[in-house]
């Protein structure tokens, strides 16, 4: 509720501020001199004494809605509109501002004042709920007095198996500070239940996942990308296969929010990496209704289905950023979402030439899923920095690596038909006599990530690729 501003001069003070105490005689002097003065008091309705118009602002509504950061603050109001504002005490400033040139001759020339109670860090949460909580549209759920907050989330089916942060109004309001987007804006239609979900609802799940507010734009972009037609989140969820949505982040936002692109990049220990992917999965679970045992029919799942997000190591990469392959300019904040799982290790501690290393990569890639199956399943090759350095020294960029991989990843179908190599799995007999690539066109993603030491790369196995399954999707991150 916004209060009408009283015309004339308006002072905001609190007793617990020596500067405010000091200026009380000046306020009285202004009244005596005929100024129209209204004084709002933040902490003690009986303070200051001796003034005609003192208003009780102990609920801090006036201070909150008028963005008071310092006491004393003096406003000048004309026709209900603020036309000027000074903060703290400065004799010269007060004299000019009020038009009374004799104010406070005995006071010190300048005092900075104190912090307004309306911005007291201990009160921020309470006040934001009091004054802006009504902007939240979600249903309030009062947990039982005897319930443990953490257990309550498990009991209601909101958790992926790990504890979640209880999404209180204060936490959700804080999370929403992380984006300029309005809380009621629709972000996506989330499968499998096809619910239209808002920024606020995503923020609730981001709180539960453990995100900081500055991660929210990344989570929102990931949700948008995951719910696109091309990515096919419904099918990915329903499959008996292992994969889930994997989020790769490009652009300066990764470093700004502290995402890991180096050591242990696919592992634990970095809050942004761990919680952004988890937030997306909680959105699918809680807002899309996709749960293991329900629409999620995965045979075994994968630890990466708890949520896997990481930043690409761009600063010394031999490759252009992943998102640029989907039409997004390098240097732009973007997520690319890929249907995969893993990782699987690729070891090569001996190769010092790109020609040798590419054969190691090809060997690992050919075995993805099954050595005799081709084209159906996608893959992501995560080149570690010590391997990346070898490629860079040889002058190989991503296109060169792809070109060199292509013949190595091409198979004679005679070796792939059912029964070949004594293995019944394989292609129908009718496929004999042709050359086939391991991956569909566009089915192999290549990124650069990992710590400084370790002559390894990694394979993130993928799900059915292309129009029959999932196509990776990039999405710019909006502030």
Partner 1 sequence: MTTIVLDPTAGKSAASIETVDRPTTLAGLTVGLLDISKARGDIFLDQLERRLTERGATVARYTKPTFAKPAPVDLRHEIATNCDAIIEALAD
E-state strands within 384-450: 410-412, 435-437, 444-448
Residue among 136, 187, 401, 477 that touches partner 1 (CB under 8 A): 136
Residue among 68, 204, 216, 248 that touches partner 1 (CB under 8 A): 204
Nearest alpha carbon to residue 291 among 299, 281, 277, 303: 281
> Closer to partner 1 at the Cβ: 415 or 425?
425
Q: Is 142 in the site for partner 1 (CB under 8 A)?
A: yes
Q: Is 275 in the site for partner 1 (CB under 8 A)?
A: no
423: left (phi over 0), alpha (psi -120 to 50) or beta: beta
Nearest alpha carbon to residue 176 among 129, 122, 116, 123: 129
Residues in contact with 423: Cβ distance below 8 Å, sequence separation at least 6, in sequence order: 372
CA distance 205 to 242: 23
Are the C-beta atoms of 426 and 417 separated by less than 8 Å?
A: yes
Per CB under 8 A, which region of 26-34, 187-195, 342-350, 356-364 contacts partner 1? Answer: 187-195
Q: Is 228 in the site for partner 1 (CB under 8 A)?
A: no
Site string for partner 1, 85-124 (x = CB under 8 A): ----------------------------------------
Residues in contact with 336: Cβ distance below 8 Å, sequence separation at least 6, in sequence order: 225, 247, 248, 250, 322, 323, 326, 445, 472, 473, 474, 475
> Closer to partner 1 at the Cβ: 251 or 288?
288
Q: Is 293 in the site for partner 1 (CB under 8 A)?
A: no
The separation between the first and the last C-alpha atoms of the chain, rounded to the nearest angstrom, is 28
DSSP of 335-379: EEEEEEEEEEEEE-SS--SHHHHHHHHHHHHHTSS-TT--BSEEE
> Closer to partner 1 at the Cβ: 62 or 242?
242
> Closer to partner 1 at the Cβ: 111 or 171?
171
Of the CA atoms within 13 Å of residue 218, those in its CB half-sphere come to: 36
Q: Is 144 in the site for partner 1 (CB under 8 A)?
A: yes
Site string for partner 1, 444-463 (x = CB under 8 A): -------------------x
Q: Is 276 in the site for partner 1 (CB under 8 A)?
A: no
Residue among 138, 228, 302, 360 that touches partner 1 (CB under 8 A): 138
> Closer to partner 1 at the Cβ: 76 or 341?
341
Residues in contact with partner 1 by the rule CB under 8 A: 136, 138-145, 149, 152, 158, 166-169, 172, 190, 193, 195, 197, 201, 204-205, 208, 232, 234-235, 239-240, 282, 286-289, 463-464, 467-470
């Amino acid at each position: 509720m916004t209060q009408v501003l009283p015309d004339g001069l308006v002072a905001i003070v609190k007793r617990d501020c020596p500067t405010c105490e000091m200026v009380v005689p000046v306020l009285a002097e202004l009244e005596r001199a005929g100024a129209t003065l209204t004084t709002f008091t933040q902490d003690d309705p009986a303070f200051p004494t001796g003034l005609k118009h003192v208003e009780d602002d102990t609920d801090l509504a006036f201070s909150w809605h008028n963005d008071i950061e310092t006491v004393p603050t003096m406003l000048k109001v004309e026709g209900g509109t603020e036309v000027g504002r000074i903060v703290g005490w400065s004799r010269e400033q007060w004299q000019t501002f009020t038009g009374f040139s004799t104010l406070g001759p005995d006071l010190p020339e300048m005092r900075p004042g104190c912090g307004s109670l309306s911005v007291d860090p201990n009160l921020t949460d309470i006040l934001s709920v009091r004054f802006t909580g009504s902007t939240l549209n979600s249903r309030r759920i009062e947990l039982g007095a005897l319930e443990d907050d953490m257990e309550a989330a498990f009991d209601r089916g909101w958790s992926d198996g790990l504890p979640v942060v209880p999404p209180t109004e204060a936490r959700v309001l804080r999370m929403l500070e992380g984006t300029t987007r309005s809380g009621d804006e629709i972000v996506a239609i989330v499968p499998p239940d096809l619910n239209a979900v808002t920024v606020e609802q995503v923020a609730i799940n981001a709180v539960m996942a453990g995100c900081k507010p500055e991660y929210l734009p990344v989570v929102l972009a990931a949700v948008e990308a995951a719910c696109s037609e091309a990515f096919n989140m419904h099918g990915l969820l329903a499959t008996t296969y292992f994969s889930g949505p994997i989020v790769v982040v490009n652009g300066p936002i990764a470093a700004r929010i502290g995402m890991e692109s180096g050591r242990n990049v696919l592992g634990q220990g970095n809050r942004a990496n761990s919680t952004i992917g988890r937030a997306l999965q909680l959105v699918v679970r809680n807002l899309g209704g996709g749960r293991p045992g329900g629409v999620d029919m995965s045979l075994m799942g994968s630890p990466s289905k708890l949520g896997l997000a990481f930043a690409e190591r761009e600063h010394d990469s031999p490759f252009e950023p992943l998102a640029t392959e989907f039409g997004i300019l390098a240097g732009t904040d973007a997520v690319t979402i890929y249907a995969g799982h893993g990782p699987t290790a690729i070891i090569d501690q001996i190769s010092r030439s790109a020609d040798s290393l590419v054969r190691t990569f090809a060997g690992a890639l050919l075995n993805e899923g099954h050595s005799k199956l081709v084209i159906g399943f996608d893959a992501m090759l995560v080149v570690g920095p010590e391997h990346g350095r070898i490629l860079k020294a040889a002058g190989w960029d991503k296109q060169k690596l792809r070109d060199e991989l292509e013949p190595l990843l091409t198979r004679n179908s005679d070796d792939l038909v059912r029964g070949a190599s004594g293995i019944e799995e394989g292609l129908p007999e009718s496929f004999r006599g042709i050359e086939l690539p391991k991956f569909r066109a566009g089915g192999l993603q290549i990124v650069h990530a990992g710590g400084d030491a370790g002559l390894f790369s990694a394979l993130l196995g993928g799900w059915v690729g292309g129009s029959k399954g999932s196509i990776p999707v990039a999405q710019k991150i909006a502030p």
